[in-house]
Structure 1
């Protein structure tokens, strides 16, 4: 084409030349993508023999989450992958995770299902491809039921969602029945309706009151057509009323002049997220929050994952290898006299371990457990050390590094014939602790005694300066003012809120503090505001001002977009002024007490009324 255009530079030849160049660039781009993808898979299969990150188990876990598990995500979001294919992919991931530097498959000391668990449940939080597929299918079904896009409107007509018989004859294209019904059941079980005008809520089949649908609680079978909440509420003689378990069930139910709203109960905000849907499927395992302490950002990741393996006794010492049917002659590499190597002997009783534990107990003044079992000793240290304080950070990290250095010394002696001296090992431990402390700023200042001990051995942890700000409560010019506040231990976590009502002279007229169970700080702020207004109405106080320190809550009300727990209460009519005001000391103490007391007799918002 280039020669033809040079000989005859016409418009047609120029067009043909441009098309040929475009096709060539497109082909080169496809070739580049192909080789890049192939190189990535080849690298994951064979590995870079000179890359230490590749050899580390912690690095492999990151690669599996970032690369291997992310490659098929787009595919599982569009079509269902068979379980056999998912099993094969997870088998490849497991072989890669446990393989050695030579690529030879090694024993899988911890099951892959356990590794899928979150860190707080003893896993490594490597995502399960099967649960990811179910979570993405749940997202698609949720959008069909409650989405507002043009595609969602078409899908509701296509699958007869609005006709009362959803998905009776058809399911979404590309989704297997096994995946569809598992995801569909998850969406139904984690959905709850907040009543507005009652037009969109099925009276019997939807969950809008209590913990289950009313169809399961009726005194007899109902054979009539589908009915909405609005039809039953507005018709006091409806036949279904005679089948209700209690005649007073609908006594306090009032319809509002707004649309019904379906909330996702698996998230504290009430909105659907793929991550919350994933958590509803991965519910196995016992929750042990202390395990999170192993994975402090400043800790050496190899030492952390080694201690994680030690908790599962997944260390290939001679005794553990013999337990799996491989007969070998056992000899401890860290002892001058012949001894059988097992976990407790290697990490507690051999000559090297004994010297290191004595050094840690005397020089570093670490309180150690007296357990003869190394797993119990490590778990005791994890439970009794708080890494958020310099003392706890130092204690836990020292034990982790001691265990890691013992294992390194054992492997060097056995496979390379190198001996590590006590002085070299203690120097490495002190250096690692010093580097981690330099990169960490603590919020809590240690006791003077602990700080002196750390300073005497050359460690100077950095503690964030605490500044105090005095806030003066300004009384209103006239009338009464409601001050509210909420707080949560974690976000989300155990939450509570409170407030007080004062007059223009500063006299305290009413104060309250409530516990709201599990939720976010915004939930606590909103529900404390609802409680304060309802109590003001109940006691006949006329509020001229309401003050809150939550910028999100104030902005949501100002923009007429209240949060999920605020909208059903329809309390915006009582607002005259909403001011953003700093939290005073009385409100702070009430919120903190609500978290610690939490008696069951306090009011609790449930559904559409205060019980």
Structure 2
């Protein structure tokens, strides 16, 4: 309900905002004894809903102060002085015109310097797309109770056997016994001894068929450095341990032998040992190929020192004869690897548009971005949603197709991106001889083969 209230696109949300919220933007509601417990619970959940709801900027009509468009919470919380009345209803596009550059002179004394730094480092391109409200805990951006529950609860590591044990077709009594077995919690003699209770241990079924004296064990074993695991291992043929009960004892062996004969199940103690080494990887040749006739190939890469950290991007373009067209590298300040890769794509395609280049094969070593851009009309990479939107527009204008490549086939762009992430000034190269030395040495071997592991 808090999520629906923040979206504000339903009749209920508009009614509740008008009746109970003091300010249309601030989401600071009235709290008193006359209000219902349901409304009080909604207000208590609003901070969590605000933190994980995000406005993806298109037209930029969302509130600059009271919408979480940066993914770091609302900016009103970072204000160090009261927000002037004439700026209360400011929209994102008021501080970020279509040119994409921020104009923050009017708010420098209102919010903290760290918040100003994060705003400047956030790339927002105003476009004709509608703003989109998403739930950042969900891959699809839609709210679900499951995603919220998974975020506020602590989960243990998933075990391979859990899906077989916690099965609705098994009786609950059998499931609980299986869980106890996995966690060594079946109350056999060895488990009781581990708890510090002196006990003479013997398997009653085995000893009823052959004379055998009980084996005296006590909690004093623990003082000699004996772990719980060793306590549960068989110390004598007839000591009642978990392993004896389920695997090596007379009754357990008889059960396994019976079912192995009737259902062709291999007996546990006759299973072959596991392979000592994994199967060898099949080598795959990775090399740079010329694009088809009348096509260009644009190799792109992004680099981030720290991920996130100081980052940069670079790229190089060739024609179908293998001739150099252009190259570039650009510094992006603080961002992640994925963000740097997407911004490098956008910059490379913008250069192609300025040079009136068409029919482009875009190569990137980011499989995540390549797979996302191949799906028309949708994106799960919400942090770079606005960048991917501009890239999709250029795909249509320039007739671009995108393919994934290994880093070994993208070495020139990788060298340029790493150079930019180290702080080199932005440059565009139209002559091959002007390229930095670090990338020239890869240009010579651009057609060389590399071997990488592939499963």
Mapped partners of 2:25, 2:141: distance in 1: 24
Aligned residue number for residue 6 of structure 2: 145
540, 544, 548: which one aligns with 2:358: 544
Aligned residue number for residue 534 of structure 1: 347
203, 212, 217: which one aligns with 2:78: 217
Aligned residue number for residue 228 of structure 1: 90
Quick check: 1:554–1:578 contact (8 Å CA) kept in 2?
Answer: no
289, 294, 297: which one aligns with 1:478: 294
How far is the alpha carbon of 1:528 from its aligned partner?
Answer: 4.2
Mapped partners of 1:503, 1:179: distance in 2: 62
Aligned residue number for residue 331 of structure 1: 201
Aligned residue number for residue 568 of structure 1: 386
Aligned residue number for residue 350 of structure 1: 235
Mapped partners of 1:149, 1:270: distance in 2: 18
How far is the alpha carbon of 1:551 from its aligned partner?
Answer: 6.8
Quick check: 2:186–2:242 contact (8 Å CA) kept in 1?
Answer: no
1:208 paired to 2:46: no
42, 45, 57: which one aligns with 1:180: 42
How far is the alpha carbon of 1:227 from its aligned partner?
Answer: 3.1
* 1:82-118 residue CA offsets vs partner (Å, 9 max, x unmatched): xxxxxxxxxxxxxxxxxxxxxxxxxxxxxxxxxxxxx
245, 259, 271: which one aligns with 2:112: 245
Mapped partners of 1:308, 1:517: distance in 2: 42
> 3-state DSSP class of the match of 2:217?
coil
Q: Which runs of 5+ in 1 are unaligned?
A: 1-139, 355-402, 438-445, 452-462, 487-496, 519-523, 604-611
**Cα distance change of structure 1 residues 294 and 162 upon mapping to structure 2, 3 Å threshold:** same
Mapped partners of 2:79, 2:288: distance in 1: 57
How far is the alpha carbon of 1:194 from its aligned partner?
Answer: 3.3
Larger strand fraction of residues: 2
Mapped partners of 1:533, 1:231: distance in 2: 21
How far is the alpha carbon of 1:187 from its aligned partner?
Answer: 0.8
Quick check: 1:191–1:264 contact (8 Å CA) kept in 2?
Answer: yes
TM-score normalised to the size of structure 1? 0.43
> 3-state DSSP class of the match of 2:233?
helix
Superposition pairs of residues 302-317 of structure 1, within 5 angstroms: 309=180, 312-317=183-188
* 1:5-48 residue CA offsets vs partner (Å, 9 max, x unmatched): xxxxxxxxxxxxxxxxxxxxxxxxxxxxxxxxxxxxxxxxxxxx
**Cα distance change of structure 1 residues 409 and 484 upon mapping to structure 2, 3 Å threshold:** same
How far is the alpha carbon of 1:295 from its aligned partner?
Answer: 4.0
Mapped partners of 1:200, 1:330: distance in 2: 74
* 1:464-484 residue CA offsets vs partner (Å, 9 max, x unmatched): x98989999562433633367
> 3-state DSSP class of the match of 1:574?
helix
Superposition pairs of residues 318-467 of structure 1, within 5 angstroms: 318=189, 320-321=191-192, 329-333=199-203, 336=212, 337-340=214-217, 343-344=228-229, 347-352=232-237, 406-408=244-246, 418=251, 420=253, 424=257, 431=266
149, 166, 169: which one aligns with 1:278: 149
How far is the alpha carbon of 1:220 from its aligned partner?
Answer: 2.9
Aligned residue number for residue 261 of structure 1: 132
* 1:439-479 residue CA offsets vs partner (Å, 9 max, x unmatched): xxxxxxx97x769xxxxxxxxxxx9x989899995624336
**Cα distance change of structure 1 residues 424 and 182 upon mapping to structure 2, 3 Å threshold:** farther
**Cα distance change of structure 1 residues 561 and 331 upon mapping to structure 2, 3 Å threshold:** closer
What do you get for the CA RMSD once the two structures are aligned?
6.1
How far is the alpha carbon of 1:544 from its aligned partner?
Answer: 1.6
Quick check: 2:125–2:386 contact (8 Å CA) kept in 1?
Answer: no
Mapped partners of 2:199, 2:419: distance in 1: 61
Quick check: 1:353–1:406 contact (8 Å CA) kept in 2?
Answer: yes
Quick check: 2:22–2:28 contact (8 Å CA) kept in 1?
Answer: yes
How many aligned positions are there?
A: 361
Superposition pairs of residues 291-306 of structure 1, within 5 angstroms: 292-295=159-162
Mapped partners of 1:353, 1:578: distance in 2: 77
